[in-house]
Amino acid sequence: MPIIGIDYEKCTNCNICLSACPDPERYIKRDEEQNKIIFEDPQKRCILCGQCIAQCPEDAILYEGMGQSFTFESIENLKKVVSYDNLFNFLASLRSIRHYKKENVPIELLNKVFKAMQYAATGANMKSENYSLISNPQTIEALSDAVLEELLKDPSTKDQWEKQFERLKKMYRIPIYFDAPHVIFVSSPFNMMIEGFNIGNIITYGRLAAQALGLGTCWNGWTQLAIQKNPKIKKIANIRGFVVAPFTIGYPDITYYRVPPHALKEFNGLE
């Protein structure tokens, strides 16, 4: 198992790891005879959440194969890292970008986006999702053509979007993806409702990270719907999985001067 024990020279027997574990006694427990904490995972079902690692004041948890933990200044008081007002303005400014500059994003920036996406919360810490970056213009165009064809087959979706697609064809060479230089796909091998929520969290992390790097993004629901109707479309991008969602990414060719109006809803329970 990835958590292999405790550095007893560091451990102070504070028992924080016991309360940190989402299922103590299954993975971790106190051995009263030895007067120390021990890890036991005979069924190898630890969800690898790392809560015990993150909460141990002495950094005494020994682990392997889980990636690298890290820390930073003010991690114990995160409101010092970013104020609510700054965070709110950043979140409120997240826009769906449909106009991109004709330049590719450097791989080091795309790697930063991918890194941020992998810190998104997933149910039961599943982390089962896969990531694909499509940058080949011919592949992106083939995907766009396949999505257009599929959505125009169905009378209901044709009636809803045919006129919009015609307008987009006049504006873009690759209308479904607004001529974006890259499309990122997130997919899951599991056909479960929770994976839709997981992928939603992951894409949101990616879009926010992209915005912090001066990039623009747009979640592409057309592709998601077309793949649901015709799973063979996934072969064009060499993507597998039951749940699939893409978003475009590139340098925005548009400037915003204000946040658009939002009619805020009432929050029950605040009375």
- Element spanning 37, H or E: strand 36-39
Residue bearing the bigger pLDDT, 126 or 11: 11
In the chain, where the domains are located: 3-63, 87-250
Instruction: Give residue-wise pLDDT tens across range 57-97.
Output: 999 999 988 889 999 999 999 999 999 999 999 999 999 99
In whole numbers, what is the pLDDT of the chain averaged over residues?
93
Decide the pairing of beta strands 61-63 and 3-6: antiparallel
Q: Which residue has the tokens 């010092």?
A: 80
Strand 216-219: give its sheet, edge to edge. Answer: 130-134, 182-188, 243-250, 216-219
CATH class of the domain defined by 87-250: alpha beta
Residue 253 to residue 247: CA distance in whole angstroms: 17
CATH class of the domain defined by 3-63: alpha beta
Confidence (pLDDT) at 144: 98
Confidence (pLDDT) at 179: 98
Instruction: Give residue-wise pLDDT tens across range 197-236.
Output: 999 999 999 999 999 999 999 999 999 999 999 999 999 9
Confidence (pLDDT) at 27: 76
Residue 142 to residue 266: CA distance in whole angstroms: 44
Residue 247 to residue 221: CA distance in whole angstroms: 8
Instruction: Look at residue 42 and tell me whether its pLDDT is greater than 70.
Output: no
CB 231 within 8 A of CB 156: no
Using DSSP's 3-state secondary structure scheme, residue 54 falls into helix
Structure tokens at 269: 């329970």
Confidence (pLDDT) at 44: 58
Backbone angles phi, psi at 245, to 5 degrees: -145, 135
Band of residue 126 on the pLDDT scale cut at 50, 70, 90: confident
